[in-house]
Amino acid sequence: MAAGILLVLLIATLMNGVFLLQQVDQQVDQQADQQRKADQLSPHSKEQVSTSQHSPTPDKGPCNNENNIGFEYVRVCTQTADEFLAGTGGDIAIQFIGSWCMSLDYNLDTENKNDFERGNKDCFDLTIPDVGDLNEIQMSNDKKESKYVSGNIWKLDNVTVRYKNNLIRFDFHTEIGKNDLFYSIFLL
């Protein structure tokens, strides 16, 4: 009788071990699939980027009916640094510069929400002209004075843009609104 109980316990333990191994295998497969999908999102996502605090690419004119063929839906997500005084109450804008043309500035704001606070990720859905291949974005901060903080500098960590089914990450790691009107980052 005792041997039968031990045999049942041994079988149950082995079955539990097999079940746990199957779960681990499934998790590893899911993580590998997610990594493959992430690697396929954009050829730009792993390229080096270069930063500039100068004017937009001079050979690109504004997008208009003559040089753009339509509109694109984009999702822009900003990541504010998780540091003391990293957030801002200023008005943040983005401009898209592509192989065909450059867009106007788009104000990033969610109504009734305090955007761009320390450590926060804020996402915005926009419709912009088709600028061709997205080469550069410019971020600006109007540097509104706050009654609590002078200058209202924004410490931007990164911006991700979903454009034409590509997810492109622009790493800034800088303060916007300190000495510049805007800060530009482009793909090499």
> Over the stretch 107-163, which tens digit does the pLDDT of each residue have?
999 888 889 999 999 999 999 999 999 999 999 987 655 555 555 789 999 999 999
pLDDT of residue 46: 36
pLDDT at 176 > cutoff 60: yes
Q: DSSP class of residue 62?
A: B
Residue 1 banded pLDDT, cuts 50, 70, 90: low
The CB-side HSE value for 63 (13 A sphere, CA atoms) comes to: 22
pLDDT at 168 > cutoff 80: yes
What percentage of residues in the chain have a pLDDT greater than 70? Answer: 55
Q: How far apart are CA 85 and CA 2, in angstroms?
A: 68
Whole-prediction pTM: 0.65
